[in-house]
Amino acid sequence: MSRSKHAASRWLYLVVALVLIAVDQFTKNLAIATLKPGIGYPVIGELLSWRLIYNDSAAFSLGFGQTWILAVLAAAATLATIWFSGRITSRSWAVMAGTFLAGVVGNLIDRLIREPSFGNGHVVDFIQIPFNFPVFNLADIFIVSMATLTVIRVFRGENLGGVAPRKK
């Protein structure tokens, strides 16, 4: 592995994370500015609606309302992802890690700075789909989709350089 390939992957990881954190926070602030809490605004018929809620639970409104515990777990996941990123040499892994980090940090920011208080803030959720699925946000999408792709790639045997072992 060359240093330039490692450095390029590291920069890509950082750029992806920063851009997606900004997009996540922008969409949450836009939802707060334009939506009334609890009211559904159809976007694509019954398939997609905007519904602003303030969530003190985990992703997709799952959990137990212990926001400070979730903030600590998110901080730990952030540190683990940053550590993990130092081993990445593949652009695709860099994009995935940056996207996952953006999701974790996006919701962590809410828990730290939003009401009711520092460390106990509620996450802004505003995307609603049918089938009694919980309301969620872009950060939730980033976390779940990248965790799923990571599991798939690990089961395929891909290393952090994006290479799967050759079958004999």
Please identify every residue annotated as catalytic.
125, 140
Distance CA 56, CA 46 (A): 26
Distance CA 32, CA 53 (A): 9
Q: What is the DSSP string of 123-167?
A: EEEEEE-TTTPPPB-HHHHHHHHHHHHHHHHHHTT--TTS-PPPP
Torsion of CA 25, 47, 36, 26, to 10 degrees: 10
Q: Residue 13 CB: number of other CB atoms within 10 A?
A: 26
